Structure 1
Amino acid sequence: MKKLNLLFIGILTMSTLNAQDISDALRYSQNEIQGTARFRALSGAFGALGGDMSAVSLNPAGSAVFSQSHASFSVSNVDASNNSQYFNGLNSGSNSNFDINQGGASFVFANRSNSPWKKFTIGVAYDRTNNYDNTWNAVGVNTNNKSIDLYFLNYADGKRLDQISALPDESLSDAYSDIGNVYGFANQQAFLGFESFILEPDADDDANTTYFSNLANGTFNQNYSYASRGYNGKITFNMAAQYDENLYVGLNLNSHFIDFSRSTLLFERNNNGIPNSGEFLIRDIEFENNLSTTAGGFSFQLGGIIKLSPEFRLGVTYDSPIWYTIKEEASQYISTVREYDTGNKETQVINPQNVNVYPQYKLQTPSRISGSLAYIFGTQGLLSFDYSRKDYSTTKFKPTSDAFFADQNAIISDVLTDASTYRLGGEYKVKQFSFRGGYRFEESPYKDGVTVGDLSGYSLGLGYNFGNTKLDVTFDQAKRTNETPLYNVGLTDAAIIDRTNSNVTLSLSFNI
């Protein structure tokens, strides 16, 4: 009867299966500079220039600058290196990835009539907007008396013992699944802590709601590994037109998609305290979490470019929010070693070998407004400056009527803020060669400015014009320092991560 009651409650409370937080919201709201080698060589300062397929992805009016139909294709090698510091521990690592990061074509249709609308363009393009391949390792001795037990204690606090424990004769795997379906993510975490002997109830009673830890106070050797894979991309359908001689306007309809996976693993060991007679203390803990995310989304862009004079161009772009529909799956594993007063040790393993499939949810990223100014030196070169602003505090999980999402949205509003991005680029031509360079600076989206720090980067590029075909190569690098908590609950001590992204991009573009 108790099992039937649990299943009935589960039908009524399935919406509680939520595990999303601010890190998920921010991950899908930020974009890296991606695209053609020429675009990246100017650090993306292309909002008032156009005439490049990635510039079209930035400002939809840019395709109307083409004098004839145009196509481009780009490949890139991305190298991400991380230097981490966690208490007294220093570590470093890197990973690289080679892939296609851009491709597209724009078709120009000249208007032969006397209409002031000189030409129209339509186009389609693919751009990889973010690369999620990343690995780092934080190793150190936690001297703040903080163990992973705080994670499980936090989730267990206030929850009945019979809501975080297995039924008689029920396997731990079945119990983990049932508790997740009935009570949700938080009870599942408390279950892992209780059944792995990390937690102990104050009273051996189903109605008990308070717990203590089977770890003694002291220092803790902690080794935390993070590995993620995947990307965020978009397919853009572009329409643009030239009005008279000096005005270009355009519209982009964007289809977005996410493929992201993440795995974290914590090893923790301690030698704190001596077990009392007939009792035990937890010595070793291994805790693994895996997440897989897929998503689809939609956004639109409106843009314009105006020639203020033969030399000066002004660009303005509005990027709508991206409206994502997200699906997530997760799995977990935990093992512990407990030492008795006799010196004997026993290992407890909880490996459910099943996947939590969370209810589909929606995420609305912040909109962005951008302004650009460019100066053209005839056929010799150019200088370009872009400024954009995005208010990350407006990011929202939906439906907002959901109590869990409402709490997360309140945290986002309190913790995140508006952030500006500055991009500067230049190009100088000598015969068939083009020499390029750029600089960019992005403010932190966090009010504290340190959880995710400011980003600064530079770029250098070279191009050669064969006539109808152009070959471009670029090197760009960006650096950012983050203070990343190991967990958002309990063990919130942060690892300081100095991340450097280096990219080499090769593009081939040609007139059709």
Structure 2
Amino acid sequence: MKKIFLFICTISMSFLNAQDITDALRYSQQNIMGTARFRGMSGAFGALGGDLSALQINPAGSAVFLESNGSVTLSTSRIDNDANYFDGFSNNSDMNLNFNQLGAVFIYEYNKDSNGVNKFSLGLAYDQTSDNADEFLAFGRSESTATYSNSIDNYFLAEAQGIPLDLITLRSGENIDNLYSFLGENEGFSAQQAFLGHESFLIEANDLDNPDNTLYFSNIAPGVFDQEFFFESTGLNGKFTLNGGAQINQNYYIGFNLNSHFISYDKVTQFFERNDNTGSIVNEVTFTNRLSTTGAGFSAQIGGIAKVSQMIRLGASFETPTWYYIEEETTQQLETFGNTNGRALVDPRVTNIFPEYRLRTPATATGSIAFLFGQQGLISLDYSYKDYSSIKLSSDQGNVFSNVNREINDNLQGVSIIRLGTEWRNGQWSFRGGFNYEESPYENDLLFGDKIGYSIGGGYNFGKFKFDVAYDYSEQQREEEFFPGSGFTNFAVIDSYRDNFTFTLAMNF
């Protein structure tokens, strides 16, 4: 049976907890994806071109093609997560299959053997830029300290303090859906969370007889807590590119891209906690949240490649920030159980629809050099710089993101990205390898570690057709805070390992 949402509410400007530094960073990052040749060399194509995915790095690469070319790419992706939380350890893996690249470049020769403009290129391409599929389960036993209970009750207490009791109390004839919707439309996020906690008996007012009461205490006693946190996300980010390029005076290539981006991201989290602490009225808590995000954006790129000699090529490119318009929706459910009070389920059949907001991602500058050894092989190196502290959120609908923007500026930093690749040929066969490194976007790299990756690949040239295959692997560590920016600060340490097999069929025409 399909779930029916009885109420649709637009959240007021005080509902800002939906957008945080984690979301801003997620939509600002791009992974090395694309054709098998591109991935087999870890994306080190800034001074090379001649591959459709090379346009992601340097748009001048389209003019390097000797003839018109098209390609289609299929990729299998697997993510393996190790989750450490207090004394608990778990491992989860997830696999998916995507068509992550499709495109063509059309070459128009002009004054082929003379100076001036030698040829023009026109490219149309789709590239997946990020795979949002992720999953992990963290579990462990936490214990109260002298100043912190290490329980989910901290989340609801922090949101509830200062909220009048009368505001979150059901009136005669009013149901959970009505009040939850009203609070979202008129009071915002904290009032909704306070209502969930109070209605489920997780928190209680200090003075039940005073409708103006604004102080609350927990019905969970300090002690030991068995906790689980399940995280699952799906979706992908991608872009459609219109490219133009030209070869000038035989040795110089220029190009530009106009990129249309999209975001598709869905996430579900479920937190479970159990305790047998003396004095606890609530012994079990299950808190479920769902988030759905869609977005559309625009960016532009410009680049050039120069043949310095028969052996050396240099490349340079610049990608503007991407300006996104993003919409988000959430649903929530809270269930508690007490040995004396029984079970309480608070399930508002309401979708919280956030006001559309804007996200500006960082610009990227790239410098490249490649060494070519005739027809035998090549070595290529790219260096990119991206300043994540320049990320900015804004809105035309009155939302104030000053706190989030300040957190971004204080915690994120500029990063260096290095990609190194090589390719060697033996007859119709090609063999490739690569390495890539990206610094942590956080000044504190314990929150989000450096990313390291490796790749290998090969291909066979049938003449008109080429078939390539690649395998790439990357690893990164991060701290996954269960409820970012809230009063409950517990987190798991996640070691992520990703590997991909990529297959590309390309054709000259």
What TM-score does the superposition give when structure 2 sets the normalisation length? Answer: 0.94
Aligned: 1:198 with 2:205: no
Aligned: 1:135 with 2:135: yes
Aligned counterpart, 1:4: none
Aligned counterpart, 1:389: 385
Aligned counterpart, 1:420: 416
After alignment, is 305-314 or 156-165 more displaced?
156-165
- 1:209 is paired with a residue whose SS is coil
After alignment, is 300-309 or 198-207 more displaced?
198-207
Of 421, 425, 429 in structure 2, the residue corresponding to residue 429 of structure 1 is 425
Q: How does 1:331-346 map to 2 (within 5 A)?
A: 331-339=331-339, 344-346=340-342
Identical aligned pairs, as a percentage?
Answer: 44
Counterpart amino acid of residue 48 in structure 1: A
Which sections of structure 2, spanning at least 5 residues, go unmatched? 1-8
Distance 2:205 2:98 in 1: 52
Aligned counterpart, 1:472: 468
Distance 2:12 2:204 in 1: 27
Q: CA deviation at 1:250?
A: 0.6
Q: Which runs of 4+ in 1 moved over 6 A?
A: none
Confirm or deny: 8 A CA contact 2:59 2:245 kept in the other structure. yes
Of 352, 361, 366 in structure 1, the residue corresponding to residue 362 of structure 2 is 366
Deviations 1:89-137 (A, max 9, x none): 0100101001101010000111138660111111100000000111100
Aligned counterpart, 1:455: 451
Distance 2:496 2:324 in 1: 27
Q: CA deviation at 1:345?
A: 3.8
CA separation of 1:454/1:400 partners in 2, compared to 1, >3 Å: closer, same or farther? farther
Q: CA deviation at 1:15?
A: 2.7
Confirm or deny: 8 A CA contact 1:261 1:292 kept in the other structure. yes
Of 170, 175, 178 in structure 2, the residue corresponding to residue 174 of structure 1 is 178
Distance 2:395 2:293 in 1: 19
Q: How does 1:38-49 map to 2 (within 5 A)?
A: 38-49=37-48
Of 480, 501, 504 in structure 2, the residue corresponding to residue 504 of structure 1 is 501
Q: How does 1:374-385 map to 2 (within 5 A)?
A: 374-385=370-381
Distance 1:183 1:158 in 2: 12
Distance 2:338 2:173 in 1: 23
Counterpart amino acid of residue 35 in structure 1: G
Aligned: 1:237 with 2:239: no
Distance 1:240 1:217 in 2: 66
Counterpart amino acid of residue 269 in structure 2: T
Q: How does 1:205-224 map to 2 (within 5 A)?
A: 205-224=210-229
Superposed CA RMSD? 1.5
Aligned counterpart, 2:15: 17
- 2:213 is paired with a residue whose SS is coil
Deviations 1:188-220 (A, max 9, x none): 111111111111112232222211111101111
Aligned counterpart, 2:479: 483
Q: CA deviation at 1:401?
A: 9.4
Distance 2:397 2:126 in 1: 35
Confirm or deny: 8 A CA contact 2:220 2:279 kept in the other structure. no
After alignment, is 492-501 or 159-168 more displaced?
159-168
Distance 1:175 1:389 in 2: 49
Figure out how many residues of one structure are paired with residues of the other and give that number.
493
Confirm or deny: 8 A CA contact 2:64 2:253 kept in the other structure. yes
Q: How does 1:85-234 map to 2 (within 5 A)?
A: 85-112=84-111, 116-144=116-144, 145-204=149-208, 205-234=210-239
Confirm or deny: 8 A CA contact 2:13 2:400 kept in the other structure. no
Confirm or deny: 8 A CA contact 1:156 1:190 kept in the other structure. yes
Aligned counterpart, 2:490: 493
Q: How does 1:277-356 map to 2 (within 5 A)?
A: 281-339=281-339, 344-356=340-352
Confirm or deny: 8 A CA contact 1:17 1:181 kept in the other structure. no
